[in-house]
Amino acid sequence: MACTSDQSKTSRITEDFNFNWQFHYGDTKKEQIGSLSDENWENVRLPHDWSIAQEFTQEKTAGATGFLPGGIGWYRKKFNMPVTSANKLTWIQFDGVYSNSEVWINGHYLGKHPYGYTPFAYELTKYLKYDQPNLISVKVDRSAYIDCRWYPGSGIYRNVKLVTKSKTHIPQWGVFVSTPKVTKEKAVVAINSTITNQTSETQRIVIKSTVYHDGIKIKNVQDTIKIEPNSSRDKIQETNIETPYLWDIENPNMYQLVSEIMIDNIVVDSFETPFGIRSFSFDKDKGFFLNGKQTLIKGVCIHHDGGLVGSAVPRGVWKRRLQNLKEAGCNAIRTAHNPPSAEFLDLCDQMGFLVQDEAFDEWDNPKDKSHNYNQIEASPLTTGYTEHFSKWSSQDIKSMVLRDRNHPSVIMWSIGNEIEWTYPRYGESTGYWGKNKVGDVNYYWDEPPLSIDQVKDNFNKGKKGKHILATTAKRLSKSVKAIDTTRPITANLTMPTVSNFSGYADALDIVGLSYRQSVYDYVHRNYPEKVFLGTENWAKYHEWKHVLDKEYIAGIFLWTGIDYMGESREWPIRGSNSGLLDFAGFKKPAFHMFKSLWSDDPHIFITTQLVDKSPYVWQESKKTLIEKTPNWAARQKWGWHEVNEHWNYKKGEDIVVEVYTNQPEVTLFLNDTSLGTKKLKDQNDHILKWLVPYRQGKLTAKSKVTKIESSITTAQELARVAIKVDKENLKANGYDVAHIQIQLEDKNGVPIKNNEKEVIFHIEGDAKLLGIDNGGREVLEKHQSNRVTTSKGKALLIIQSNLNEAMINIKATCDTIDSKVLQVQIQDLQKE
């Protein structure tokens, strides 16, 4: 943090407002909120997701939103205000409440905010008391529990702040820092500040903007301006930074801007804005450039839940997940399908991820959450944001852009995801779809069955409907550009053949293609002036090969980076397993495939499967494995095919061994006997394959080039519960988390990944249990528990610090076997 004057430290007070809330599940009259006895309320600290705390059930739930209940919840908090704040302004700022929130202060109604993913604020000043406690109350209504794609969570699931500032001040999101000119030698930093004067007098103020890097002052600029009573004024300032530390994906250098408002040499308001210095551009033929360097976008889509913590995701949980994705070579995130938390973007800034910041999954018309892909009339249970869209969408997308525009990680604004489904004329005009169903496999793999002229003719003859997609797209695009013109606008298009001429794509700077590798050449040939990008793609090698082969495609965003809650089509499945990481953040086989494609670090990973369960069959004439279905590998879609990570089978069973690697050739050994060498250049799916009759022992894959190897060994009976933790020291701040992972092992330390058992965690000490998980999708055990059935012999426990110093002792028990005792120290912040 940059250092500012003593006066500025008290000019603005930003209070962490997450602590000492009470929660009541169920509806009640607002008049009773202050009088209900404490026994009707649960003490909670924010962020808080009430859905994830409940049992998985089919009663009043749906697979689309993860088989967890919605409902109505109330929050309240009593707090005192110092008399010194009486002549200032006080605001409460919510980063996200899902959904349909209503807020009262001391019985006075402040307003409603329908959308669950955008930030909002209310001024409290005129209703506050300075001689007795204040009561703030929040109602959250998620009665429509099938309201979103996909799991949204319920409640005040993001951070809340209370801000007290002078009547002459910088308003919320009132500073915009951009870098219009950037070279290695010099960068121009443009600072656009809004100053508000809520007094009855004209104010002559000095605005001083100081740039810091690692706490060292680099530059400052100041100007004097006048502001009329009860009005606001913008001031643009520029400064040059010599030999700047550029922000990029390898070196995410950050600067801090401290803005100070002074009247008569007294600092009346100060505000800090982190920012980065970088330039980027998209070229229709050459792809993406970051700081002048051509860069492939190695992206993943991520939903906003964090597995066992639901939508109330601690910073440390996101950090672990993002670190794992970084290890795979991932450098970009698409926030599918809604704006993320401010904390998430802070991490992307600090860790070097490019971000496509997405606003909406639905526009004027609702989507059918059951995958019928046709426009529906929303029922009371499926009523989502669409009923508020026409009134609120411009304001909500502006809130997203205003909050997020200073993040150097954000390089694109996405106004929508696969919107075409819900508008008449689009699907039927292309020749892809029947009236109410997805078309055949050609929809995904071949060029359009109809010519452009035929599609245009069908489109023009079709029924327009109440809303025009292109009109809405242009309105949203205009709302974004009114605030930020430094970044391009995109959307994830599922029907590019019609969207490119219907006016929809004209509202975009970059045309995002959803599962459309088959039309890359088609759209580039027919619309050569437009920039195209893969914005939703299968996590398969064939998707990445198209990027390598076609320079005009800058990259892709895989569906998905991490398994997510919701989009379940059957009970008892809690979510989608299409990720590189599972629900617990453990690495999956797809992770290792993409690490071999995206990372330069030498890598080898082994999987196995019974030949009868594999996609291959042995061809005796060629002494090789071939696909059971022709072109199977080139046509794979969601999820990875079924493979195992163990070497435990019956003697003589034929096993397909798959090796994922970036090494040019690999030799496979079974108990030190060579089973032959395979070369990547001979594989059309980037997977090395052997057929091996099973024998107990050790299977090893070795590279001749880098001398690295990977092995799996036949596991014996359970003898050990191995336990480890990612952080042995936590801060006593109520936020810091530790991930405790167990793995069942035999007496030799070999992981047991083929025999699942229940594990019980024992926790002693003053820490909060956030929950348990095994990473699998089919086990619906309650997360907020201390016992779980393993998946691949693994399980995860997450604990969070409270506000006290403590020593936490943790062990795990399986059958009669105890793990060693782990110790996690929680340290008082004041003693650091």
Side chain identity at residue 95, one-letter code: D
Q: What is the domain count for the chain?
A: 5
Side chain identity at residue 708, one-letter code: I
Asked if residue 790 and residue 693 are part of one domain, the reply reads: no
Asked if residue 358 and residue 379 are part of one domain, the reply reads: yes
**Lowest mean pLDDT segment, chosen from 25-29, 158-162, 186-190, 755-759:** 25-29
Asked if residue 702 and residue 631 are part of one domain, the reply reads: yes
Give the model's confidence band at 783: pLDDT under 50 very low, under 70 low, under 90 confident, else very high.
very high
- For the segment 27-40, the average pLDDT, to the nearest whole number, is 80
Digit-coded pLDDT (tens) for 418-442 = 999 888 888 666 655 433 333 333 4
Dump the DSSP string for 426-495.
Answer: HHHHHTS--SSS---THHHHSS-SS-HHHHHHHHHHS---SS-HHHHHHHHHHHHHTT--SS-EEEEES-
Flag whether 48 is in a domain. Answer: yes
Please state, as a whole number, how many other Cβ atoms lie within 10 Å of the Cβ of residue 23: 21
> What is the rounded CA–CA span in Å between residue 150 and residue 369?
8
Digit-coded pLDDT (tens) for 125-134 = 999 999 899 9
| Residue recorded with tokens 């976008």 | 297
Nearest CA among 342, 5, 10 for reference residue 164: 10
Flag whether 584 is in a domain. Answer: no
Q: Which of 122, 138, 165 is a domain's end point? A: 165
Flag whether 217 is in a domain. Answer: yes
> What is the rounded CA–CA span in Å between residue 257 and residue 217?
10
Residue 9 pLDDT exceeds 70: no
Flag whether 456 is in a domain. Answer: yes
Q: Which of 686, 713, 740 is a domain's end point? A: 713
Q: Which of 139, 165, 191 is a domain's end point? A: 165
> What is the rounded CA–CA span in Å between residue 692 and residue 610?
10
Asked if residue 612 and residue 503 are part of one domain, the reply reads: no
Asked if residue 709 and residue 724 are part of one domain, the reply reads: no
| Average pLDDT, rounded, for the chain | 93
Residue 36 pLDDT exceeds 80: no
Asked if residue 496 and residue 446 are part of one domain, the reply reads: yes
Digit-coded pLDDT (tens) for 445-494 = 455 667 778 888 888 888 888 999 999 999 999 999 999 999 999 999 98
Asked if residue 381 and residue 314 are part of one domain, the reply reads: yes
For residue 452, the model assigns a pLDDT of: 79
For residue 446, the model assigns a pLDDT of: 54
Flag whether 507 is in a domain. Answer: yes
For residue 449, the model assigns a pLDDT of: 63
Please state, as a whole number, how many other Cβ atoms lie within 10 Å of the Cβ of residue 381: 14
Flag whether 588 is in a domain. Answer: no
**Lowest mean pLDDT segment, chosen from 261-265, 397-401, 434-438, 645-649:** 434-438
CATH of the domain at 820: 2.60.40.10
Share of the chain above pLDDT 90, in %: 84
Domain residues for 658?
Answer: 602-713
Nearest CA among 361, 364, 357, 365 for reference residue 399: 357
For residue 3, the model assigns a pLDDT of: 35
> What is the rounded CA–CA span in Å between residue 804 and residue 830?
11
Give the model's confidence band at 7: pLDDT under 50 very low, under 70 low, under 90 confident, else very high.
very low
Give the model's confidence band at 4: pLDDT under 50 very low, under 70 low, under 90 confident, else very high.
very low
Give the model's confidence band at 647: pLDDT under 50 very low, under 70 low, under 90 confident, else very high.
very high
**Lowest mean pLDDT segment, chosen from 32-46, 98-112, 305-319, 707-721:** 32-46
Flag whether 393 is in a domain. Answer: yes
- For the segment 102-118, the average pLDDT, to the nearest whole number, is 97
- For the segment 547-551, the average pLDDT, to the nearest whole number, is 96
For residue 751, the model assigns a pLDDT of: 98
- For the segment 135-160, the average pLDDT, to the nearest whole number, is 96
Peptide bond into 572 cis (omega under 30): yes
Nearest CA among 375, 380, 379 for reference residue 362: 375
Residues 6 or more apart whose Cβ sits within 8 Å of residue 672: none
503: alpha, beta or left? (left if phi > 0; alpha if psi -120 to 50): left
Asked if residue 181 and residue 156 are part of one domain, the reply reads: no
Residue 317 pLDDT exceeds 50: yes
Flag whether 587 is in a domain. Answer: no
- For the segment 506-518, the average pLDDT, to the nearest whole number, is 93
Asked if residue 106 and residue 63 are part of one domain, the reply reads: yes
- For the segment 690-695, the average pLDDT, to the nearest whole number, is 97
Compute and round to an integer the Cα radius of gyration of the chain.
Answer: 28
For residue 451, the model assigns a pLDDT of: 75
Nearest CA among 793, 604, 829, 642 for reference residue 716: 793
Asked if residue 548 and residue 424 are part of one domain, the reply reads: yes
For residue 249, the model assigns a pLDDT of: 98
CATH of the domain at 151: 2.60.120.260
Asked if residue 142 and residue 185 are part of one domain, the reply reads: no
- For the segment 656-677, the average pLDDT, to the nearest whole number, is 97
Asked if residue 528 and residue 446 are part of one domain, the reply reads: yes
- 39 vs 756: which has the higher pLDDT: 756
CATH of the domain at 514: 3.20.20.80
